[in-house]
Amino acid sequence: MTSRQHLLITLQNARDTLHELRMALVLAGPSENLSDIEALVGVAEEEVRRELRRMESPRL
């Protein structure tokens, strides 16, 4: 397995974990105590999506 493949798998796993965390936050219900965590999850999700798009796109 190449480094690139390993990183891609790691990013996909991170995406899945963040999705699970997002679902757990939804199930926890609205709470001011969770708003900071929700914001951090949102930022992390976007960064993982951005990196996955970069990794999955054909190299120029």
Digit-coded pLDDT (tens) for 1-59: 888 888 889 989 999 999 998 888 888 887 767 788 888 888 999 999 898 888 888 76
Report whether 17 contacts 54 (CB < 8 A): no
Q: Where are the domains of the chain?
A: 1-28
The residue behind tokens 């974990």 is: 17
Whether the model pTM is above 0.85: no
Q: How far apart are CA 29 and CA 31, in angstroms?
A: 6
For 30, phi then psi, to 5°, come to: -70, 135
